[in-house]
Amino acid sequence: MLFDLGLQFIMNNIIKPLEYTGSFLRVLDQTLLPEQEIYYEYSSYQEVILAIQKMIIRGAPAIGLAGAWACCLAGQKIKNKTELLKAFEEIAQARPTAVNLAKAVNRLKNTCLSLPDLELEANKMFEEDFQMCQQMASYGLTVLPNKSEYKFLTHCNTGSLATAGIGTALGIFKLLALQSKKRLMVYACETRPYLQGARLTAWELHKLNIPVTLLPDSAAAHLLKTEKIDAVFVGADRIVANGDTANKIGTYSLALAALVHKTPFYIVAPSTSIDLSLASGEEIEIEERPKEELIYFQGKQIAPSQINCFNPAFDITPHNLITAFITEKGICSPEKLKNLFQNYV
Ligand code: MRU
């Protein structure tokens, strides 16, 4: 009974960053959280592209779903198939690193391109993502030692704001705390410069009464050294054939520190983030963000505007630093990834 109530509570509190109504896409502006909860109504695919680029919509699965619905919005207005496919290409290129976007658009390209078909497929993808979150969370619980109290470290935001459901890495914490009734502390890295950890992860967990401790990204290695952290769980934007994984900048440093401090390091991601067409991480395009994101902080200048900046949005964690992948199809080592997914992706 307690279990059902816990699950019910999680489900009742799922934040909806995206909702397609049939005429427009309703989008929660993630750049304004947690201060303001503002929703926009986009009726053109160009608005959705801009929202993805400005990080109003973010998180690999959510970007993929927004891309799918952007294709539907394009389908509402463009009746010529060549023109429609051109719009699809623009949508697929909104952000380069998360493979979910290109895969979502490709999936819609393979329909007969009629509006009802596009909408049917996009809705199906939303449903599938919702289910995959539950499956990943259930698998995630099985890698944990049986204890009464846990401490975890995470990075960026992998929750409802980034998916159609309870999230990927964050889904595991939600299930453990609210369904299994275990005590836990989630250490959330701030995630400079966009502060997805501070603004989004801390907000999402706090809303569910799951204990969260915020730390600057630069404190993560010290935390792993001084506290007994049970595991690091993070998400992914693109996992390639050898298991190398692109995720939010700072993930690689966490994996290095986790190895030194003998802390298991898990990637939690659905098959929509897996790209077996690339052999290794060197082939992944890493998005470079504008230097203004480092020069200014909430409108205030914090560095000389003439200097050079290095602002990659993602980094690549080499497969040999990853303990295992937790996916909707099960748990696997980097070496087994190709076998597990060759028939699915
Ligand atoms: O730049 P963002 O906020 O889109 O980056 C998000 C991440 O790196 C997430 O960890 C990843 O997309 C997985 S979200 C389930």
Q: Rounded to the nearest whole angstrom, what is the distance from the C-alpha of residue 155 to the centroid of ligand 1?
A: 9
- Shared domain check, 68 and 52: yes
**Using a 6 Å cutoff on CB, does residue 247 contact ligand 1?**
yes
pTM for the predicted model, two decimal places? 0.96
Q: Does 211 lie in the same domain as 82? A: no
For ligand 1, the distance from its centroid to the CA atom of residue 17, given in whole angstroms, is: 14
- Which residue range(s) make up the domain with 45? 2-131
**Closest C-alpha residue for ligand 1 atom 6:** 59
CATH of the domain at 97: 1.20.120.420
**Using CA atoms, how far apart are residues 199 and 16, in angstroms rounded to an integer?**
16
Positions marked active-site: 237
Confirm if 247 and 314 have CB atoms less than 8 A apart: yes
Q: One-letter amino acid identity for 190?
A: E
* Residue of 33, 58, 233, 253 to mutate, ligand 1, most atoms within 8 A of C-beta: 58
Atom of ligand 1 nearest to the CA of 313: 1
How far, in Å, is the centroid of ligand 1 from the Cα of 11?
A: 22
Q: Does the beta carbon of 158 sit less than 6 angstroms from any atom of ligand 1?
A: yes
* Domain match, 18 and 167 both: no
- Domain end (from 96, 131, 166): 131
Same domain, 75 and 179: no
114 and 22 fall within a common domain:
yes
Residue 299 CA neighbour count, 13 Å, CB half: 1
117 and 182 assigned to the same domain: no
Identify whether residues 65 and 180 lie together within a single domain: no
Residue type at 14 in one-letter notation: I
pLDDT in tens, the chain (345 residues): 445 678 788 888 889 999 999 999 999 999 999 999 999 999 999 999 999 999 999 999 999 999 999 999 999 999 999 999 999 999 999 999 999 999 999 999 999 999 999 999 999 999 999 999 999 999 999 999 999 999 999 999 999 999 999 999 999 999 999 988 899 999 999 999 999 999 999 999 999 999 999 999 999 999 999 999 999 999 999 999 999 999 999 999 999 999 999 999 999 999 999 999 999 999 999 999 999 999 999 899 999 999 999 999 999 999 999 999 999 999 999 999 999 898 766
Q: Please state the domain count of the chain.
A: 2
- C-beta atoms surrounding 160 within 10 Å: 27
